[in-house]
């Protein structure tokens, strides 16, 4: 059992890890063909995993409906929503529009999915304002500096900000756009580069750990 659960996955990871790493240094067509083949396998495995995930989803909601736990109606809606959209997709044969007219799937997409997604994203605006009011307290010089940079970037992002800046600081002969571009391209880029380099090195070492079987989190625990 140990061979199946431990050694075979480790061997697979090692072999494919080394081959994929080596393919970066091999210009031959064989390398491209290997990568295409691996990508196809990834798609197949993802499809099966999605199927497993859906079974789990339906099972857990079925249990909630069966036991009539608090909020079981939402679980019923999971089934209703799924079958309505599936039905629309099947009837429309997967097309969003046909001959310039919206199909059932297209209508569902435009009038249900679109507004719901946009709503969730727009909730972000409200959360930003409540977080900013609650949490952005200037308690140190570093926080003050951060606030000034944030203020310049926010004002630089809006035409009204340009007008305000020109009225108050127009005498400096600098536009807020120039200062904003400088902040983005110099200190922000420098900081980002540092983080990116650290993350890249971390990713490289973690990859080595995974290839050589030192990091085994992806297998689940032993």
Partner 1 sequence: MKEKLNKILKLDRRYLFVLLTLSIVIPIIKPIGIPSKSISTSVKDTYNFIENLPEGSTIILSLDYDPSTAPELHPMASAVLKHAFKKNIKVIILTFIAGSGGLIDELVRTIPPQYSKEYGKDYVVLPYMANPLAALTQMASDIHSFYDKDINNKPLKDYEMMKNIKNYKDVAGVIGITGTALLDYWVVYVGDKYGVPILGGVTAISQVGYGPYLQKKQLKGLIGGMKGAAEYEKLISQPWKGTSGIDALNIAHILVIVFIIFSNIVLLILKFL
Partner 2 sequence: MNRKFLLASVIILSLGIDAFSNKSKDSIKQNIEKIELKNLSVVDYPSDKGNSIILYFDKDEKQKNFQYEIYLSTDSANWIKAKQAKYDELSASNIEIPFWMWNKKRNINALAIDVTKVFSLQEDDYFKQNPKGFSVYAKVIAIGDNKKYESQIVKGIAKANWFRIDRLNNLVLVLIISIVFFIIVSRAKKRELFIRKIAGLEAIDEAVGRATEMGKPVVYIPGIGSMSGISTIASIFILGEVGKKIAQYDATLKVPHYDPIVFTVAKETVKQSYIEAGRPDSYREDINVYITTDQFAYAAAVDGIITREKPAACFYMGYFMAESLLLAEVGAGVGAIQIAGTDVDSQLPFFFTACDYTLIGEELYAAGAYLSKEPMLVSALKVQDFGKFLFITFAIGFSILLLIFSKIETSYAEKLLDIFRVR
Residues at the site binding partner 1, with contacts judged by CB under 8 A: 32, 35-36, 39-40, 42-43, 46, 96-97, 100, 106, 109-110, 113-118, 120-122, 125-126, 128-130, 132-134, 136-138, 147, 151, 153-155, 157-163, 166, 175, 177, 181, 184-185, 188-189, 192-193, 196
Q: Are 10 and 2 in contact (CB under 8 A)?
A: no
Tell me how far, at minimum, the Cβ of 69 lies from partner 2, in Å.
Answer: 11
Residues contacting residue 105 through CB under 8 Å, at least 6 positions apart: 85, 88, 89, 91, 92, 94, 95, 96
Span between the terminal Cα atoms of the chain, in Å = 12
Of 8, 49, 86, 145, the residue at the interface with partner 2 (CB under 8 A) is 49
What distance in Å separates the CA atoms of residue 88 and residue 53, rounded to the nearest whole number?
Answer: 22
**How near is the Cβ of 59 to partner 1 at its closest, in Å?**
24
98: β partners: 101
3-state secondary structure 164-175: HHHHHHHHHCCC
CB atoms within 10 A of CB 34: 17
Q: How many CB atoms within 10 Å of residue 212?
A: 13
Binding mask 157-186 for partner 2 (x = CB under 8 A): ------------------------------
From candidates 12, 39, 53, 66, binder to partner 2 by CB under 8 A: 53
Residue 44 interacts with partner 2 (CB under 8 A): yes or no: no
Looking up tokens 């085994």 gives 216
| Count of residues engaged in binding partner 2, rule: CB under 8 A | 61
Can you tell me which residue has the tokens 């630089």? 156
Q: Given the rule CB under 8 A, which residues bind partner 2?
A: 21, 24-29, 32, 45-46, 49-54, 56-57, 60, 63, 70-71, 74, 116-117, 120-121, 123-124, 127-128, 130-132, 134-136, 192, 195-199, 201-210, 214-215, 217-222
């Amino acid at each position: 059992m140990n061979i199946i659960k431990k050694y075979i996955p480790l061997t697979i990871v090692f072999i494919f890890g080394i081959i994929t790493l080596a393919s970066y240094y091999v210009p031959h067509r064989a390398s491209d063909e290997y990568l295409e083949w691996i990508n196809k396998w990834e798609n197949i495995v993802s499809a099966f995993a999605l199927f497993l995930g859906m079974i789990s989803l339906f099972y857990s909601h079925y249990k909630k409906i069966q036991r009539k736990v608090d909020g079981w109606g939402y679980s019923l809606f999971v089934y209703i929503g799924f079958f309505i959209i599936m039905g629309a997709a099947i009837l429309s044969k997967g097309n969003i529009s046909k001959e310039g007219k919206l199909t059932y799937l297209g209508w569902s997409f435009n009038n249900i999915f679109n507004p719901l997604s946009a709503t969730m994203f727009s909730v972000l605006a409200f959360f930003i304002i409540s977080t900013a009011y609650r949490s952005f307290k200037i308690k140190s010089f570093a926080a003050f500096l951060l606030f000034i940079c944030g203020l310049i970037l926010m004002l630089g992002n809006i035409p009204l900000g340009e007008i305000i800046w020109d009225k108050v600081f127009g005498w400096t002969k600098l536009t807020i756009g120039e200062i904003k571009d400088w902040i983005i391209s110099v200190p922000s880029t420098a900081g980002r580069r540092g983080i990116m380099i650290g993350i890249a090195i971390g990713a490289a070492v973690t990859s080595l750990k995974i290839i050589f079987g030192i990091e085994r989190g992806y297998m689940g625990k032993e």
